[in-house]
Every structure is written in C-alpha cells, then in structure tokens.
Chain A
C-alpha cells in the first residue's frame, strides 16, 4: 500500500508540474502581443536590446495575420497574459475595455503629440494610445502618369481623376500599362475596399453629423453613390475582369511594382515594399486623396489614422504594469526605440519621434500644410467590423458579376447594427 501511495503521489506531482507549466515568474516582465507580422523580427531584436539595457524581460508574441482576436482571446486566459496588447477600434474597445489600464497621465501618455489616436471609453479613461499612424489614399506612379501625358497636379477631384483614368485605360495597349491595379476581393485584398475605401462615404457622413465620437446606432449611407462612383472607376479601368475579382491570384502590389498600372489604392505601409522589393524610385511615388465625387472634396487630404493602439492589461500585476509602462516610454523616447518605431511603423505621434523617409507621409504633411482636411479613419467605429466587412465584400463580389447595387447598400447601411 505504501508503494502504491508513493507512486500515486509521484504521478500527481508530475501531473501538477505539467499542468502548471513553467511556474510564475517573480520579476516584473513585459509581454507584448504584437499585431503586425511584418514587424516581428525587428520587435524581437528591440526586446533583446531593452533586456540587455535594463534587465527586464520583454516577450514579443506575434499573432498570425487575421488571427489577432482569436490569439488574444486565448492568451488573455493564461496565467501569464499579455501585458501590452492592441485595442485599435471601437469594436475592440467594447470587448476589451475592462482589460484596459487607464493610461491618462502616465509618462508615455504625456509624450504624445496629439490626442487624435487615443481611444477613450465612456468614463473618459484613456484605454489605448496610438503608437504610430498611417495614411492611405491612391498611390500614383508619377513616371507612368507623365508618360501618359499628365501630372499629379492635374488630378484635383473625381471628375479629373475619371477623365485621366479612362483615357489611360483606353490607351492601355499602346501605353503598355493600365490605369488601376486589380481590385481583388479575396481576403488578401478586400480590406482595401471594405475597410479603407468604405471610409470615404463613412467619413463624409460623419462630417455631416459633426464628426462621430462613438459608433452611431445606425447610418444613412448618404454618400453611397460616391462610393459607387469610385468603385466603378476602379473595376472598369483595370486589366482585371470584374467578374473574377473574388478569385485568388490577383496581386495588386506586384502589378504596381512591375509598373503595369498608374494608380494603386493602398497606404503608407507599402512604401518599403515598393522601394525595396520592386526597386521603385521614391521620387516616382506620390499619394493622392481618394476622390469620389463628394461636394468640397478638392479640399481633402489623405486618410490618416491608426488601428495600432497600445493598451496595457489592467488585470496584470502592478509590477508588470509598471514594467510595461516603462518599456513603452523607452520605445518612444530612447534613440534605439524611436529608430525602430520610425523604421517599422512609420510616423509616430510622440515628441521624440525619429525622422523617417517615407514619401507618403511627406505628401500627407503637404496636404495638411496646404489647408486640406485630413480624412479621419472613421471606419474604426464599425461596430461588428468583421461581419460588416465580410458582408460588404460578398455584396461587392456579387455586384461585380452583375448583381444589384441594392445589396451593397443593404450590407452597408442595414448591416451596421450596434
């Protein structure tokens, strides 16, 4: 019987050991649940640097593309959950709000140069703060545009964009390139339209209502005709057959990089890909606003905003929270930190930001300095964002093969339910 008890105890000990994992760490540490796969390598490096300098362990885990929410949900349940994670829009704030530490008056918060990218909850707590911001619009290959006989300054509104695009498309064979890159509607590309392009009608509607500060209960879709204008322009002035847009295989980035098209709707994050992977000359690149025929659109600028917002886990231990805040502060004030931030994330809204050479941010600044209104990322108010976008993509797909525009309207307007 003694032996039996002994083996039983031994088995239990082994089992508890297995179940409890490696056991809790006593020293404060930072666990960053990163959201950008492309930045993973650089962040691992910076985590090592920080650890060497301060002795504080920084663990960076990156979720696979499109799996952030699922990975975060699983990780948050563990005994050592992430201390630093991303809450980038109002839907995420709804879900994760109670996990967000109030960042007001923390050192890193005080380093911010703008309040534009901070997400506050109803009680006014600063739940997450932007760690970088991005711009999107229509990327133009100036060199090709000139070959077609135009300049960037010729494009002032939707009408001029349309004239130029249609002219280029009509002469595509002779010129050797087309107006727009393919507007793929498969998962790898549909977000450019269901997220970013859809921001245009949402932005104008929000502006008419004095600017949203939280997700409206319902929307009207007042500017859906303008959305249709620009969408029709995209799909009918490119080499891709609109009926095939949902099939995988289109690669707009490669088409633009290989100089097969003049216009490519995407964002500032494309800069390094285009310059490094496709050897494009930065001087040939420009970004213009997305014109869609809305009144007064001559005075808008690029769409600038961010979904990259840091939140600190309020459920973590006080020591870990402090360690995380220290790390964040170091990232935006130290030389190494700001350099990595500028290189990986572009423009960061902090006092000590290192300069970066991305031409698209320069364009965004130029528009701002000329008094054009920056287009906010109001799509971040989409309440049930995944479902809304999936439905819109499906409706656009159907529309491209002859389905009714009415379905797009339905997905857009009626699909918006808080």
Chain B
C-alpha cells in the first residue's frame, strides 16, 4: 500500500531512484564535493598559507610570518588601486543597473523585434575580456587619434574607457535578469493598481520595483563583484597606463599605475619582482578576498531586507 502511494506521487522509476539516493547520497555528492575541494577549498587554503611565505614556486615555500602583509599595505600602488577600483565599482554599479533596467523595461513593453534586441544586447557577454579589451582599445584610439592622443595618455580616458567597456559587456546580462523579474511581477497586482487609478510612473515605483527587489539584489551583487574582480579588460585596455612617479621619503620611487585595478595590481606584483614580491602579491590577494566578501555580504543584507514577500 505504501509503495503504491509513493509510486503515484513520483512515477515508477522514481521509487528506485529515491531509494538509491537516500541510501547512497554521499556517492552522488562525491564528484561535486571532490571537484569543489580540489578546485576551490584546497587552493584557497594554500593561498592563505602562501601569503605568509616567501616563494618562487608554490611547492617550495618558506614561512616568513606576517611581513608580506606589511609590504602589501605599505604599497602605495595597492592603496591607489583600491580607491580606483572602488570608484569604478560605484560608477559601474549605478550605470549598468540603470541601463539594464531601462532596456529591460522597454523590451517588456511588447515592442516589435524585442527578441532580436534581447539577443543582440546579450551577445557582448559571450566575448572574452582580453579580446574585448583589445578591440575597444582600437576603437577608442581610432577616435582619440584624431585629437592626437590615446587612451593610454590620461587617467580619465582610461577610467571612462573601462566604464564604457564594462557597461557594454554587462548591460545585456543584467537585462536578462531584469526581464525575468519584470515578467514575474504578478499580473493581478498590476491590474489592481490600474483599477485603483495608478499611473504608469506610480505603478513602476510602487508595484513593479518592489516586486523586482530579488532581481535588483542579484544584479547589484553581480555588478559589484564583477567590477571589483575586473582583470582581463583592464589588462588589455590600459594595462594600468599612464603611470605617475613619486619619490618616496626613503628615496625609492613609487610608480603608480593610474588605471590599475586591484586584480591587475596583484598580478603585476606577482610577476613583477623577485620571490619576495610573490608572497606580497599573495597577501594582497587574501586582503582582496576579504574585502570583496565583506562588501558583497553587506550589499546582500541591505538589498535583501527590501525584498517583498509574495
């Protein structure tokens, strides 16, 4: 009798499958857990350990204690790249989300060719960052060359170049998420709003956007973390140029790459100098992880609290 009931609920094969899954759940979990452990947990732990070491190759590291962290924090270029990245993330966050929402809103109004537009807007996402960076540098320089300059000449060109590139690539992706969100706004709510005499604008502000909060949460999370983690585009578009040179108190030179973001700074530190710098780069990477984690948790908390329960 019992068997028959469960058979009705899940179909003939379901019983066997559920049975097996219950007994051998750990076997099913194993591949994913193993992949996660090998591909993420282990490198992560080793990365933390290496941030306390001096090394050329990771298998031959010498423990040196906390000094890498002092080197990392004492690096003016690192601090500069942090503020540059933060500014970039703030501007990108606002622009990408506004644009993506606007495009999504227009494309859910039943205009002709909406599907074609969706595809077109989404396509930049499918191109790799390095390729995009080089293509855009050719485009920007094609324009800037008329004014006898180049994207590598001024920090502001590099900054806005990165913003344009990032928007161009990310807007389509966020648009898809907003479209899904917009389509999930309950029709009866919208109808009720219309019956109550709400105009287009107040429907958008009071009904649509509150219902869209889960999409906004995920989109802000993605744009924020993507901006902080930006690397390929930065490397290919500006490579950090132009540089400024400041003489430090001890007579050594601080070279600040004025369009260098955090990830690129870490990369340049790692391959820049001798084995001392690899540990420092690793320490920067750990600090970078903590920073991105804290920012995204804070952001998730604030936007989550505004989500409405349906």
Contact = CB atoms under 8 A, between A and B. Distances in A.
Contacts of A397: 150, 152-153, 241-242
B138 A95 contact: no
Contact of B274 (A4, A94, A243, A410): A94
Contacts of B268: 386-387
Interface in B151-200: 152-153
A76 B60 CA distance: 10
A8 interface: yes
Interface residues of A, number: 43
Interface string A231-264: 0000000000101101111000000000000000
B245 A244 contact: no
B255 interface: yes
Interface centre among B152, B247, B275 (most CB of A within 10 A): B152
Interface in B242-256: 242-243, 245, 247, 251-253, 255
Given A15-B34, A387-B273, A246 B247 contact: no
Interface centre among A95, A407, A411 (most CB of B within 10 A): A95
A99 interface: yes
Contacts of B153: 246, 397-398, 401
A248 B137 contact: yes
A15 B271 CA distance: 33
Given A11-B27, A77-B57, A95-B56, A391 B272 contact: no
B74 to A, nearest CB: 14
Nearest to A242: B148
B38 interface: yes
A163 interface: no
B149 interface: yes
Contact of B245 (A94, A96, A187, A411): A411
A202 B106 CA distance: 62
Interface in A57-75: 69-70, 73
A4 B24 contact: yes
A386 B257 CA distance: 13
Contact of A73 (B24, B57, B144, B253): B57
Nearest to A408: B245
Interface in A329-372: none
A123 B240 CA distance: 38
Nearest to A387: B272
A390 interface: yes
A226 B24 CA distance: 77
A110 interface: no
Chain A residues touching B, majority SS: helix
B302 interface: no
A190 B38 CA distance: 40
A386 B274 CA distance: 11
Nearest to A386: B272
Interface string B48-63: 0000000011111000
Contact of A401 (B59, B138, B148): B148
B275 A7 contact: no
Contacts of A384: 272-274
Given A244-B145, A401-B149, A415 B59 contact: no
A68 to B, nearest CB: 10
Given A243-B149, A401-B149, A411-B243, A8 B255 contact: no
Contacts of B149: 243, 401
A91 interface: yes
B245 A77 contact: no
Nearest to A74: B57
Contact of B275 (A95, A315, A390): A95
7 contacts: A246-B241, A249-B138, A386-B268, A391-B245, A394-B152, A395-B243, A397-B152
Closest 8 CB pairs of A and B: A414-B253, A394-B243, A410-B245, A243-B148, A247-B141, A76-B57, A384-B273, A246-B152
Interface of B: 23-24, 26-27, 30-31, 34, 38, 56-60, 137-138, 141, 144-145, 148-150, 152-153, 239-243, 245, 247, 251-253, 255, 257, 268, 271-275
Given A383-B273, A387-B268, A414-B251, 8 more contacts: A4-B23, A8-B26, A98-B56, A98-B60, A247-B145, A249-B141, A386-B271, A394-B243
